Structure 1
Amino acid sequence: MSATSSSDSSHAGGHSAHGQHDLTHCENCKTPLHGHYCYECGQSVVNPIRHVGHALEEVFESFWHLDGRIFRTLRDLLSPGRVARNYIAGHRVRYVAPLRLFVIVSVLTFFVAKFAIHIDETNQFVNITNLQEGTVRLGNSKSLIRRADSIAEVEEVRARTLKELQAASAQVPAEARGAIDKSIQGLNRQADKRIDTLRMEMQLDGAQVAAQKAEGQRAAATSESDSINQAKTLAEVESARDARIAQTMQDDPAKWEAQSDMAIARGNKIRTINAEAGCRIAQLQREHAVASEGANVRKSDFDHYGEPDCDDIGDPLSFNGKPWSATTNPLIVTWWPKFANDWLNKQVGRGEANIKRLTKEPWLYVRAMISAVPTALFLMVPLFALLLKLAYLGSGRGYLEHLAIALYSHVYLCLLLLAMFVLMLLGGVITPHWSGFGWISGLGIGLLWTWMPIYLLIMQKRVYGNGWPLTLIRYTVVGSLYFVLMSMAAVFLAISAIVQM
């Protein structure tokens, strides 16, 4: 009676006190067991929720199938075309399915890439005794560049300021030079932008040039711009800003563009005045932080004070010859519905704001790009398979066979990229202690890049079995079309990354 009850309990409860392998019936469908798996439903006798080791085994089994197939697949991938040829020939049990392997390898590759592709974003303590004076000098130099009337004048200001910044950089610790280097980059951008503007002005009619110079002289005489850039206190900045805005509101409408665009033009000028005031306020706040905190001031703290670099002032995004605005001058695709155009302009607005961050925080853009690459590849692989299908019409292969070939080829490419990123990581760790490893790492990366197209060519030859002349023709056509599609995807990816920063 007791034995029967125990047996019934084992059948009903699904496991005995001695362990899960004492099961006699499947816990799922109650079918009598004759091995490790139920022949009716396929469920294993191992219950992962009752043992930590089995739970971990279940995770690895689900994602990697660590029963030898992952290692066999990776090993056979080293021989171009072997895995794809065997898989489509029906030898599937020995390999990891192509889509599963592609997802895992691509995610792993670009996860490692985030660590390998590094842009300095250090957050060190700043200990620069002349930082306050340098900030004022840099702001004055940019103001002089914006008001320069000739290319020679721009170059003279640039050369003088670069010499001062480089001298300051030589006097500070290496970890604190990042801020000065960014200031040098910003100065060069400002100077190049002003030179481009002056060259455009030189191409205008002489009367237009004279009128622009006269307007510039009147502006200099009233010291409107200098009133903000030379302000020594926040109160002076506010006073100068209010005075310039009041003057703008009183200007004769004839100064502006067409009457219908007067409000837009005036609004843009006021926006520029506010931006200049905001930049000067940020400079003053940073100067005060350096003066009051001394060696304890951190670069990251400056972010609370605003943006002191006004390189992009006066250069708004424009469409139809007018500054872009989501309300007054939106980007419209005529055949799109309203909600789609609203979404588009929302993305344009985010992109415009992020472009201004791009030069200050380039690592955010790089991270956004790397994060988006796996998704882009996931979309590009079916297109590559379609190109193979079109190139090999009449081969008797279905689209899904071409898709498996495309997936395995991209898996190998991702593995090569992963190897490159690992070499980059090792280079960052070993090269400072052994300079020769930098040469070895660079050579390895170069060889991997060279091997990529060779591998794909050999793989295509072995999988499809054509002669070399026909294989080369098809390889060139498919490769060229895919390169064009990849270039278009890269442009889209770059724009998307700016929006998603």
Structure 2
Amino acid sequence: MNMPAHPHHAASDCPNCGAVVRGHYCHECGQETVLHPASAREFVHEFIGHYVALEGKLWKSLLLLLFRPGQLTLEYINGRRVRYIQPLRLYLTFSLVFFAVVNYTGHDEVPAPAPAAAHGKAERKGGLMREDEPGEIAAGTVDVRKAIGNVNAHWGEQADRFSNMTPAERDKVMRTVFNSYVPYAVFFMMPLFALYLKVLYLGSGRRYGEHLLFALHVNGFAFLALTLIMLVPDLFGIVTFLLWLWLVFYTPVAMRRVYGGSRLMTGVRWFVLMALHVTGMGLAIGAAFGIGILH
């Protein structure tokens, strides 16, 4: 039976998990063995220490992510991980910031959230459903809505309701769908992005997890770059041009640093990767809008 730990004394058994402990930390769960009542000073010290450590990791991660394409991936693969933000957290942070900026700044058009963003811009929300004449959408989708209704009656009703909305109502629905469904659709493309890399680099010796790591980093950068394009003041078009230029060349530079190979073969692989990813992204976002509207 474990005895309560006396303040300022080391516990012979860990109060948290019951393991026999030696030293200042439990080897099983990591809890401190020297226990005493917490003071306000300790709470403040712990908070500041955690914040400074996180901030340090953030700046180190940002510097590599922005200015040394692929190096952050190599650092993680080579075991130097604790000094940087975890890949999934980094990706999710920049994607959340991107969609929040899109939502709260009211951009009618935003760049496509992909490393291949230079292939064009994707119209957002209400811009996807503009009508040249009132009732054009309802008149032009009769057969489609009938087919949907044959598959599922509820979906057919939802499609009819959506097609007969006013432009303002339709725009509101599209905005809601964009914010609620599209971020998930984009996120679930990351494993597929990694699969493309796995196929393109067969025989490289890289495991699937390493390709997924690369996917999170380059797509995290893409979200960050696209956010900057929307937020940073554009001086005579120069800033936007430079950001787009860096966005275009970032992925092939990162690919060559991580995977090696000649510039020619890297370029070929990058072109195939972007063609597959842009196509998949378009289908995924279209499916997200369809699911959102029909439900």
Scaled by the length of structure 1, the TM-score of the pair is 0.46
Question: Deviations along 1:251-278, whole A, 9 cap, x unmatched?
Answer: xxxxxxxxxxxxxxxxxxxxxxxxxxxx
**d(CA) in 2 for partners of 1:46 and 1:113?**
49
Partners of 1:312 and 1:356 within 8 A in 2: no
2:155 matches 1:347: yes
User: How many residues align structurally?
Assistant: 265
Partners of 2:159 and 2:294 within 8 A in 1: yes
**d(CA) in 1 for partners of 2:70 and 2:193?**
16
**d(CA) in 1 for partners of 2:138 and 2:201?**
55
Partners of 2:137 and 2:163 within 8 A in 1: no
2:84 matches 1:95: yes
471-480 or 358-367, larger mean C-alpha shift: 358-367
**d(CA) in 2 for partners of 1:396 and 1:363?**
48
Identity of aligned residues (%): 30
Counterpart of 1:405, as a letter, is F
Q: Which residue of 2 aligns with 1:456?
A: 251
Partners of 1:118 and 1:363 within 8 A in 2: no
2:213 matches 1:404: yes
Q: 1:85 aligns with which of 64, 74, 79?
A: 74
Secondary structure at the counterpart of residue 413 of structure 1: helix
**d(CA) in 2 for partners of 1:104 and 1:463?**
23
- Offset at 1:57? 6.0
Task: Evaluate the alpha carbon distance shift between residue 421 and residue 356 of structure 1 in structure 2; reply closer, same or farther with a 3 A threshold.
Answer: farther
Question: Deviations along 1:421-441, whole A, 9 cap, x unmatched?
Answer: 433xxxxxxxxxxxxx5x538
Structure 1: segments with no counterpart, 5+ residues: 1-10, 17-21, 120-184, 191-310, 333-341, 424-436
Secondary structure at the counterpart of residue 75 of structure 1: helix
Bigger relative CO (Cα 8 Å, ≥ 6 apart): 2
Task: Evaluate the alpha carbon distance shift between residue 44 and residue 450 of structure 1 in structure 2; reply closer, same or farther with a 3 A threshold.
Answer: farther
Q: Summarize the alignment of residues 389-428 of structure 1 with structure 2, pairs less than 5 Å apart.
A: 389-423=198-232
2:284 matches 1:489: yes
Secondary structure at the counterpart of residue 29 of structure 2: coil
**d(CA) in 1 for partners of 2:165 and 2:6?**
60
Q: 1:356 aligns with which of 152, 164, 169?
A: 164
Secondary structure at the counterpart of residue 394 of structure 1: coil
Task: Evaluate the alpha carbon distance shift between residue 409 and residue 56 of structure 1 in structure 2; reply closer, same or farther with a 3 A threshold.
Answer: farther
Task: Evaluate the alpha carbon distance shift between residue 381 and residue 86 of structure 1 in structure 2; reply closer, same or farther with a 3 A threshold.
Answer: same
2:188 matches 1:379: yes
Q: 1:40 aligns with which of 28, 47, 66?
A: 28
Task: Evaluate the alpha carbon distance shift between residue 471 and residue 50 of structure 1 in structure 2; reply closer, same or farther with a 3 A threshold.
Answer: same
Greater Rg by CA: 1
Secondary structure at the counterpart of residue 450 of structure 1: helix
Partners of 1:116 and 1:422 within 8 A in 2: no
Task: Evaluate the alpha carbon distance shift between residue 347 and residue 112 of structure 1 in structure 2; reply closer, same or farther with a 3 A threshold.
Answer: same
Partners of 1:80 and 1:456 within 8 A in 2: yes
Partners of 1:384 and 1:482 within 8 A in 2: yes
Q: Summarize the alignment of residues 326-345 of structure 1 with structure 2, pairs less than 5 Å apart.
A: 330-332=149-151, 342=152, 345=153
Question: Deviations along 1:103-158, whole A, 9 cap, x unmatched?
Answer: 23322321232112356xxxxxxxxxxxxxxxxxxxxxxxxxxxxxxxxxxxxxxx
Secondary structure at the counterpart of residue 23 of structure 2: coil
Q: 1:469 aligns with which of 264, 271, 281?
A: 264
Q: 1:113 aligns with which of 83, 102, 117?
A: 102
Q: 2:142 aligns with which of 318, 325, 337?
A: 318
Secondary structure at the counterpart of residue 133 of structure 2: helix
Partners of 1:386 and 1:399 within 8 A in 2: yes
Question: Deviations along 1:272-310, whole A, 9 cap, x unmatched?
Answer: xxxxxxxxxxxxxxxxxxxxxxxxxxxxxxxxxxxxxxx
Scaled by the length of structure 2, the TM-score of the pair is 0.74
**d(CA) in 2 for partners of 1:100 and 1:38?**
27
- Root-mean-square deviation over aligned CA pairs: 3.7
Task: Evaluate the alpha carbon distance shift between residue 411 and residue 325 of structure 1 in structure 2; reply closer, same or farther with a 3 A threshold.
Answer: closer
Secondary structure at the counterpart of residue 319 of structure 1: helix
Structure that is richer in helix per residue: 1
Q: Which residue of 2 aligns with 1:366?
A: 175
Task: Evaluate the alpha carbon distance shift between residue 366 and residue 358 of structure 1 in structure 2; reply closer, same or farther with a 3 A threshold.
Answer: farther
Q: Which residue of 2 aligns with 1:299?
A: none
- Offset at 1:70? 2.8
Structure 2: segments with no counterpart, 5+ residues: 109-129
Partners of 1:317 and 1:352 within 8 A in 2: no
Secondary structure at the counterpart of residue 393 of structure 1: coil
Question: Deviations along 1:32-75, whole A, 9 cap, x unmatched?
Answer: 4633x43332125799x9778849968x96x9971732332222
